[in-house]
């Protein structure tokens, strides 16, 4: 039988607690909704004029993918403060997508109803992000 020193046992307990305290992004509706938003924006961006490939298309795709990716990256952080920081980055990217969608609508690249639907989804995700940030701030987990 292996003999474990007390400090080794404490180290394993500590690592186990850290693992248990990681935030599970896969159970978050904001993660699922933001992934769907990525898909919808990518489909929409394919309808933009070809000369916008390196302009608005590139910009809006980078911004929209940043929303769920920062949720995932933040979920791997050890403190709620760090996680909230990444959620705030997601929020900033989401606001950027909203602004870009408004510009795309003004330029008339795609159907205005589709733009309004996506902006509405951005707003719903924004409300969910704010609520989740407030929820995490209220927890004294880490």
* Structure confidence by residue, pLDDT tens digits, 43-100: 999 999 999 888 999 999 999 999 999 999 999 888 889 999 999 999 999 999 999 9
Tell whether 9 is covered by a domain.
no
pLDDT of residue 9: 52
CATH (domain of 103): 1.20.1440.60
Token pair listed for 89: 């980055």
Report the number of distinct structural domains present in the chain. 1
Find the farthest-apart pair of alpha carbons in the chain and give their distance in angstroms, rounded. 73
Q: Quick one: which of 87, 58, 82 has its CA closest to 70? A: 87
Is 48 domain-assigned?
yes
In this structure, is residue 60 part of a structural domain?
A: yes
* Whole-angstrom distance, CA of residue 17 vs CA of residue 130: 27
Question: Would residue 8 count as lying in a domain?
Answer: no
Cα–Cα distances in Å, from 85 out to 8, 14, 77, 90, 91? 33, 24, 10, 9, 10
């Amino acid at each position: 039988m292996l003999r474990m020193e007390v400090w080794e046992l404490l180290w394993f307990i500590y690592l186990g607690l850290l693992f248990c305290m990681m935030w599970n992004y896969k159970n978050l509706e904001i993660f699922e909704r933001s992934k769907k938003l990525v898909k919808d924006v990518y489909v929409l961006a394919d309808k933009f004029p070809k000369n916008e490939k390196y302009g608005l298309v590139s910009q809006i795709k980078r911004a929209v993918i940043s929303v769920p990716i920062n949720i995932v990256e933040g979920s791997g952080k050890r403190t709620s403060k760090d996680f909230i920081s990444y959620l705030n980055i997601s929020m900033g990217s989401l606001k950027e997508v909203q602004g870009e969608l408004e510009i795309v609508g003004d330029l008339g690249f795609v159907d205005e109803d589709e733009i309004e639907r996506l902006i509405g989804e951005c707003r719903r995700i924004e409300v969910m992000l704010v609520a989740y940030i407030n929820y995490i701030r209220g927890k004294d987990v880490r």
